[in-house]
Amino acid sequence: MALARVPAAARLLSSPLLQYFLRPFSSSASPPRSSHRRSSPIAAAFSQAQPPHAVSEGQVMEAPRPSSRRPWKPTCLYYTQSKCTMMNDAMHLEKFSHNLMMDLPANTTAADKVKPQKLDYLLILDLEGKVEILEFPVVMIDAQSMEFIDSFHRFVRPTAMSEQRIAEYIEGKYGKFGVDRVWHDTAIPFKEVLQEFEDWVGNHNLWKKERGGSLNSAAFVTCGNWDLKTKVPEQCNVSKIKLPTYFMEWINLKDIYLNFYRRRATGMMTMMRELQMPIVGSHHLGIDDSKNIARVVQRMLADGAVMQITAKRQSATGDVRFLFKDRIR
Ligand SMILES: [Zn+2]
């Protein structure tokens, strides 16, 4: 059924002939071990050419938006990391979206249904990487207007892993999306990611007092507690940094969902299915998952939900206190 919706251009992209020509740039070939440098612009452009059109495991075709006749395009993952050098290339702009707002329109007709919020901004975060963090994507939404404000996205290079292991890990994780090349081109260590993230937070005036401290009327939103309860502290340990204060409280969307709709959702896919929302992009590509979770947040705000902190840690090494009685365990 999904295939029937694939536009002609997309079918062409997945044709065996074109695949042949794309091969030199294709992600299926293991990247050379010294491939940390930026690859050629052409390779960059093609690095994501295949995945959104290929229906395979872990991928979801995006349903066409009724409001838009334009074919959906994959997002340029150099652009999301402020590293696209092809913004003047018409062919590149034709192939890749350079506008995250398109996938995150605020439902202005529901603006009067939004309840007064305790927080001004929501930072939707959905980490990727089980052994070490591989991707750190944040989508920023205005809690009251539901509008997309900005995003922060970085691929993260593991610090305690051999090059060989990283290459295998990345091929297994991102190869199926065709974005392993862009990962190798752009990934930086977690410590540097946090420095750049803190700059970004500062640019949005989101520090309550000092840099690295608490957020000012803003909070992370995650789908489950794993990201901030488990993974970030683990990665801080591996990267030998103290857990920053701004990671010590968050909103677990599953708990908000349970207490608002009185239904248990085990994950993002369940929420989207229940709310009858189409998935955008590739499931388990962090930036796309963050966008989809942000869309669920926008929908819940439009339905009248109030976003509030569900989990808090008293100190960098302290236990997590959960604030809702009814919650997903
Ligand atoms: Zn680009």
Distance 22 CA to ligand 1 centre (A): 18
Neighbours of 259 (CB within 10 A): 16
- Judged on CB neighbours under 10 Å (0-12, 13-18, 19+), 298 is buried
pLDDT at 61: 45
Of 246, 242, 237, the closest CA to residue 211 belongs to 246
Beta bridge partners of 154: 136
pLDDT at 6 over 50: no
Average pLDDT over residues 87-104: 95
Of 258, 252, 259, 284, the closest CA to residue 269 belongs to 284
The active-site residue out of 62, 128, 135, 249 is 128
pLDDT at 72: 82
Distance 80 CA to ligand 1 centre (A): 8
Query: Is 210 designated active site?
Result: no
pLDDT at 70: 66
CA distance 244 to 226: 16
Distance 317 CA to ligand 1 centre (A): 40
Distance 48 CA to ligand 1 centre (A): 10
Average pLDDT over residues 46-63: 39
The active-site residue out of 92, 184, 283, 284 is 284
Per-residue DSSP letters for 144-211?
TT--EEEEEEEEEE-SSS-HHHHHHHHHHHHGGGT-HHHHHHH-EEHHHHHHHHHHHHHHTT-BSSST
259 contacts 323 by C-beta, under 8 angstroms: no
Token pair belonging to 168: 């295998």
pLDDT at 285 over 70: yes
Query: Is 284 designated active site?
Result: yes
Dump pLDDT digits (tens) for 213-262: 999 999 999 999 999 999 999 999 999 999 999 999 999 999 999 999 99
Distance 285 CA to ligand 1 centre (A): 17
Distance 179 CA to ligand 1 centre (A): 13
Per-chain mean pLDDT for the chain: 84
CA distance 156 to 186: 8
Per-residue DSSP letters for 218-285?
EEEEESSSIIIIIIHHHHHHHTT-PPPGGGSEEEEHHHHHHHHHS----SHHHHHHHTT----S-TT-
Distance 86 CA to ligand 1 centre (A): 5
* Signed CA dihedral, 132, 309, 314, 225: sign only: negative
